[in-house]
Chain A
Amino acid sequence: MLIQSNIKNDRNISGMTKLTPSSKSTWYLIGIAFGALLWNCLYIQYFKSVIDSFDRESAIIFMGLFIAVNIVLFIAFCYYLVFYHIRRPMLKISNRNPRPGEIVAVTWELPDYHSITRFRLTMEGLESMGNIENMEDTEYASRKNQEIRSVFLSIILADTMEKHDIKSGAAEFKIPGDAMHSFDDGRFQIVWQLKLYAAKKWKDRRIKYTINVQPYAV
């Protein structure tokens, strides 16, 4: 069975659903916000003792460090907010829950395409093995508590350096007709995902979007 994998000219496909990245970028934001809160709370406690001591030199050092760290935290927060949330790529898919044998269309829009030098979109199917603590006697024993992955399918949907194609585009692919559906029992997974890679001058984008391949309709 052939897989269709090509950039399409028709970029206005109806009935598309926006995909949400299966990444942890929101947690970065929460982590930074929590870190800032913790830092400021701790510093306020110390600030009281500095004021009480009326040590001018310590107060200046204290305030300088306080402001510097807060500026860094603010910049980090803004960076993650802009990079991962405001100007992040938008992927839309014709069917978020496809079945084996179905053709799926995908479109993309990259608001920061000016700064992207190369764009690649890959459809991937992989096996994943998580917690293997009870597998001492197996060949994976030396990789205890590591996640092991094995890619069994990889289709390049788009790989371009053209700004026009990076800005927006569409492609379609076919889930192999005899494929395994998405599976997760807590330890072993069959994962189907779209992997977006956008090369930028100083910080590349790598985003994964998980697709839930449904069981074959019997």
Chain B
Amino acid sequence: MAIQINIKDDNIMFLPGDEIEGEVRWELPKAPSKIVVNVYWFTCCSVSNIEQGLELTSAESAGSLPFKFSLPVTPYSYSGKLFSISWEIEAYSVSPDERCARPFIMSPYNTVIELRSLTQYFQPPHTEDYGWPAVDSFGDFS
């Protein structure tokens, strides 16, 4: 074991505003200069947006650190056609550098919001009457 994150009740589904609680355990070859725990969300290809974090300096080579974070209300976990929004909790040590991350879902619907669940509402563009343009082909809107 290097670094391990244990979330209470092995929960991976959280409501916006919920508390995420657990413990970070580590067992490293030598005492790290610090242990950091962060909760963050990220979109693909973009930097992490750290919402909350805690830091333990002068840690032993093996130990544990309990954590308890209150999640914000947004953004929800999301999986779309162009991008996705993911939530993770990470723990890492500095010298030696080790890292562990656990993804989780934050959504009021108990699942990641996926576009295919919305496409049922999509009305196909009209191309029928009078040779008028389809809904999506009106050109650029100013």
Residues of chain A whose beta carbon lies under 8 Å from any beta carbon of chain B:
1, 3, 5, 23-25, 118, 120, 122, 125, 127-129, 132, 134-135, 138, 148, 150-156, 159, 176, 178-181, 183, 185, 187-188, 190, 195, 197, 204, 206-208, 215-216, 218
Contacts and interface: CB of A to CB of B under 8 A. Distances in A.
B72 to A, nearest CB: 9
Interface residues of B, number: 37
A218 B108 contact: yes
Given A187-B43, A188-B83, A178 B117 contact: yes
Contacts of A122: 135
A135 B132 CA distance: 37
A183 B74 contact: yes
Given A3-B121, A138-B45, A154-B135, A218 B73 contact: yes
Interface of B: 15-17, 43, 45-46, 49, 73-76, 78, 80-83, 85, 108-109, 113, 115, 117-119, 121-123, 125-126, 132, 135-136, 138-142
A195 B135 CA distance: 10
16 contacts: A24-B142, A127-B81, A129-B83, A150-B81, A152-B80, A152-B81, A152-B118, A154-B123, A154-B136, A156-B135, A159-B126, A180-B118, A183-B78, A185-B43, A187-B46, A206-B139
Contacts of B140: 206
B81 A179 contact: no
Contact of B132 (A25, A118, A216): A118
B46 to A, nearest CB: 6
A29 B104 CA distance: 49
Nearest to A150: B81
Contacts of A132: 45
A207 B119 contact: no
A195 B141 contact: yes
Contacts of B119: 152-153
B32 to A, nearest CB: 31
B17 A218 contact: yes
Given A152-B115, A178-B109, A215-B73, A185 B46 contact: yes
A207 B46 contact: no
A101 to B, nearest CB: 10
Given A178-B118, A180-B78, 12 more contacts: A1-B121, A125-B118, A152-B81, A155-B121, A155-B123, A156-B126, A176-B118, A181-B76, A208-B142, A215-B74, A218-B15, A218-B16
B76 to A, nearest CB: 6
B135 to A, nearest CB: 6
